[in-house]
A and B are shown apart, each in its own frame.
Chain A
Amino acid sequence: MGDFTSLDPCVHCGFCLPACPTYLATRDEADSPRGRIVLMRALERGDLSADDPALRQHLDACLGCRGCEPACPSGVGYGRGLEEARRRIAASVGLRPLARLTLGVFGRSVAWRTAFGAGRWIRDLGLAKLLAGSGRARLGFGMLAATAPGRVRQPTLAPEAGTGPTVALFRGCVMDTLFGHVHDATRRTLAVNGYRVIEVPGQGCCGALHDHAGDQEGAARLGRANLAAIGETTDFIVVNSAGCGALLKDYGHLLGTEAARRFAGRVRDVTELLADRGPVTGGSLPLDVAYDAPCHLQHAQQVQRQPLAVLGAIPGLRVHQLPGSDRCCGSAGIYSLVEPAMSRMVLDDKIEAIRSLTPRPDFIATGNPGCLMQIGAGLMAAGLATRVAHPVELLDWSYAAGGRYR
């Protein structure tokens, strides 16, 4: 199906190197975008085979964050090339066992509902927070603990239903089971801004994790199911997970049908819809916050300004610039699970940047479940009091404080 033509403009200038979180972690060109392009071209020419362990190691170590793309003056389509390389590797040698197992879980809703349901139970008992820490397993508990609502007391009242465009809420898997409070906040804040939010049953996982791992088959299967469930009735499909949104917007490419392209054209990140309406100003929320841009929002979807517009609608909120906020946190889908060492090195850079901020923010705002969990766990491991929250959560609290909910 694909090829590597998107890599053709590469002139080997190396400008992408410092834009790559894994290169910054190791300073080894084998872990850089330019180095990986060399590997992909060798794979294309047949100079290296798909089962070459070194080739696989360094391509597997790519976060897929596409932070290199905006740094590239030649417009190399790195993401497309990586997708093709991973497809070829998966097709010829298959997925690694841990990846296969994990993707298997995400591929069947019974499986992920059971797994994340258990996780939520552990979280709600307070066990996750208790066990959170720095080792590999304890970081995992930290991730689970980080999915908890940023505030214990959630708004209980509801706003008046909007009368404007109709919006289908994409529920996803992790978001649906562990971040239900973000879905609630999404519904309420969209309603305040005039949207009519419609719940659509029968959806599942978006397939992004499968797609990134080279399992385009699996991704396409999940995509077709979502397409069928959501249909063509609403004006928009809203997503509050950057990773899911990026793939939903790319269903046209993944599925290759006209219906998929029409579907993809209706997909919006929640901050895009909110920013289109202002958003409406809320009540005062005197907090220090720094925004960290999810890769799949800023690079894949090119949504950069809108999350800041959402935070800008909150009076009293002090938004600080986080150095390297455009750099990946090391979560990257199942990356933190299958490449724990590199993921941790990349995360450490992020936590260090947060640690050196003055004043230290109360919340890091970021609009992707992986990032929320990864950064949240990193903060707990580092013993920092800073917590994580989705931008719409903050807006939701602001609306509650401002009396926007009856």
Chain B
Amino acid sequence: MKAGVAAALAGALGPALLDGEAVAPRSVEEMAGAAALATEQGWQWKLSGRGTWVTDDPPADLELSTRRLTRVLSIAPADLVATVESGVTIAELGAALRPHRLWWPVDPPGRGERTVGSVVATATAGPLRHGYGPVRDQFLGCTVVVPDGRVVETGGRVVKNVAGFDLPKLHAGGFGAFGVIARLHLRLRAVPESDTTLLAEGDRPRLLAAADAARDSGVGLCALELLSPAAAGTSEWCLAARLAGTRTGTEGEAARLRVATGIAWHTLGHDHAMSFRDILATTAESGSSTFRLGCLTGDIATTLGLLEATAGAGATFAGMGTGQLRWSGDVAPAQLIALRRELAAREVPLTIERAPWALLRAAGHFGSLRNGVGPILARLRSLFDPAGSIVVALEGNHG
């Protein structure tokens, strides 16, 4: 923290706001006060949650963290909605929902200590995106603190809502560029009667073909993920399928999956499935950088080839039904920028989810933007953050 900033903050808002090196407000109002003061003083700040996902420190005058916004404010089982503060972790959320037989169907990369706010701000969906959709579909509204300290409530807490513009969409995957997500109304599901994970190992072409067959057969899955050895912690490539629903339904679908793909699947026991998911979550942050890209399902095989040739060895995750590919490893800025150019020519966007500041500064989370998007983004940024208080590299210097 820049010299003098801590003292000034403590003086203005009280010393309890500080938590070690970070400014960690305990309420939305405190968060608003801290943001307003920082912006007024012309300090630049970076956002953080529990600090487990971001790998490097961007230069900033202070760190504003949601780590003490940890209250689960309400759970409405009949409405399938929970209202939480953004610093609640994925693990804490799961524990709070379990007694109600509810869950939030997002299985993000990274450890269970990641906060809900971080998952939403980075839009880091995991394999369950196949069955339940991207992160932006998993919350109904949010309260955002904009840099000048105003608190804006957008969206609502009902599942269908077209009143006014859909501002929550801007914050899902906005990397905090449009303010601090402080509170969220999460869309929940009832825990399914049966939740089964099947695994098959083999060489990549064979598993790719099996995945295509599974998709074409229309088997009802909630995840279908192709994993490189580094991602799955195995010696060969893996194809993982997850089925959720009624017991007879998932059993029937599992049988159909076996017939459709013609490969050997083994069913993971409950504990094994849990530990397997833990492996995936952590290998997704095994390298210094993690990025995702979105290609059409018909282009997954060629995109994987390109990824391997350009980015090199790393943990690779491919959502075979969604076309969302994730890669984690070590990559140099020049390499990544070249890959992004190559992908852009194929209409495939590459979004950096986490990376050392040097890479982010050079390439940006989004990098080069498409036709006409640059000016829109610039105007949005200057609307939400006219003073440029939030340190975030959306476009990068060379992206």
- Determine whether A and B are in direct contact in the complex, meaning some CB atoms lie less than 8 angstroms apart: no
The interface of chain A, by Cβ under 8 A from chain B, is none
